Amino acid sequence: MRVAMISLHTSPLHQPGSGDAGGMNVYVLQTARHLARRGVAVDIFTRATRMGQGEIVEVEPNLRVINIIAGPYEGLAKEALPTQLAAFAGGMLQWEHCHDVSYDLIHSHYWLSGQVGWLLRDVWKVPLVHTAHTLAAVKNAHRSAEDTPESEARRICEQQLVDNADVLVVNTDQERADLVEHYDADESIIRVIPPGADTELFTPGSDRATERTRRELGIPLHAKVIAFVGRLQTFKGPQVLIRATAELMRRDPGRALCVVICGGPSGQHATPEEYAQLARELGVERRIRFLNPRPPQELVALYQAADIVAVPSYNESFGLVAIEAQASGTPVVAARVGGLPLAVAEGETGILVDGHEPEAWADALGTLLDDDETRIAMGEAAVRRAASFSWCAAAERLEELYEDALSVGVADCPQRFASGKER
C-alpha cells in the first residue's frame, strides 16, 4: 500500500511549539513512522519553506517527506496559504508524473491540505481520508473574548471536506459529536482513532536527573514547578496560567513557586514579549521563566522536572502534551474541554478545571501543589494512564481503516451531487 499524506501548511519535520508547528506535526510524523514500520509506504507532501532543504527527505525506510514549491519560501503568512492551493496541487501532480509513482489512498491533515486532497482524490480516483485536527466552528465556539475568530471562508471549506471525504478520522468521541453538531456530518464515515505518545522516550526521571535539569534551568531545588508546553497564542492559554500564578502569589506571597513556559509565538502578530509584559504588569515576572521550543529529547527533562504540567487551552482535539507529561510521571491540570477529559483521568492523574478564570485555576494548582502525597500518587498513576495510548496502536487502526476504504473504493461523485450532499 502506498499512501500520499498531505500536510501543506507545516512540515512534520519542523520543531513543535512555535509558528504553526504543534501537536499535528507530532501526530503526522509518528503515525507515518509507525505505518512505515508496518510496511505501508508513506510520502508526506508539505510546502517547501527554505532553499537547500531538498525535494526529498528520506526519513526512514518506507517514509519520505516531499517538499513542494508553492509560493515564496519565506514571508508567506498562514492566512495567505489558500492562494497557493492550486500551485501545491499542481506540484503534487508534477511529482507523480515525473517520478512515475501512483498512490492507493490520500490522507490529508488540516483543511488546507484537505482542499488539495479533495481535488487529487477525483483526479487519481483513490479514496480520501481526512483528519481536521481543529475546526473553525469549534474554535469560534470556545475562543476567548480577545482571540481572533476563524474566518467563514475556512468554515465553508471544512464543510465541503466533511461532505466529500470518503472517511473522516477524529481523535475522540467529542470530536465526532462536534462534526455532527457543527457540520451535519454523516456519522457512518467518521472513525475515532486516539493518538498516542512515545512512551519509550517520555518516561519518569530519577531524582538526580530532576535536580540536574533544575540546576541547568536556574530553578531553586526547593521550589514547586509548574510547566506549560505549547505555542504562545491566546487559544493555548498561557495568559491563563500567568494570571493564575499572580493569584497564587497574592494568596501566599511567600510561596516558593516557579512557572516555566516553553514555546514560541504563533500567529501573524504574536510575540513572546506580550506574555512577558503581562507577567510584569501582574508583578510575577520573577516567578516565570520563558524557554524556547525544545525537541522531544530535551522536552522530556522539562516534564520530569515539573511538579505539575498545566494545559489551559480553550479547546484541544486531544492534548498530546497532557499524555507526554503523564508518561513522564507528572500530573496534569487541564481545562475541561475537547479531548482533555479523555487524556486526563480526573482525580487520578490530574485535575480538570471548568472555565479559564484565574481564581479557579489558582484553586486547582494550589490544591495539588500543597498536597505532596496526592500529587506523587497522581504522577505514578499518570504513567499507567499514558501507557494505554500508543502510536503503534494508532497506526494499526489507521492501516485497517485504509484497507477498509480501499475495499469500498471512491465515492460516486455524481451521486453526491444528485443526493444534495454537495454544498
Q: Output the known binding site for Mg(2+).
A: 303-304, 306, 330
How many angstroms separate the first and last alpha carbons of the chain? 32
- Asked if residues 48 and 70 have their Cβ atoms less than 8 Å apart, the reply is yes
- Asked if residues 367 and 174 have their Cβ atoms less than 8 Å apart, the reply is no
Cell of 415: 451521486
Binding residues: 9, 15-16, 20-25, 78, 110, 134, 154, 231, 236, 294, 303-304, 306, 316, 324, 330
| Phi and psi, residue 345, nearest 5° | -85, 105
Give the count of alpha carbons within 13 A of 377, CB side only: 9
- Asked if residues 231 and 263 have their Cβ atoms less than 8 Å apart, the reply is yes
Q: Which residues pair with 191 in a beta bridge?
A: 169
DSSP secondary structure, 128-160, as one string: EEEE-SS-HHHHHHH--TTSPPPPHHHHHHHHH
**Cβ neighbours around 393 below 10 Å, total:** 15
Cell of 233: 497564542
Binding residues for 1D-myo-inositol 3-phosphate: 9, 20-25, 78, 110, 134, 154
User: Among 147, 151, 135, which Cα is nearest to 269's?
Assistant: 147
Amino acid at 233: Q
Binding residues for UDP-N-acetyl-alpha-D-glucosamine: 15-16, 23, 231, 236, 294, 316, 324
- Asked if residues 366 and 390 have their Cβ atoms less than 8 Å apart, the reply is no
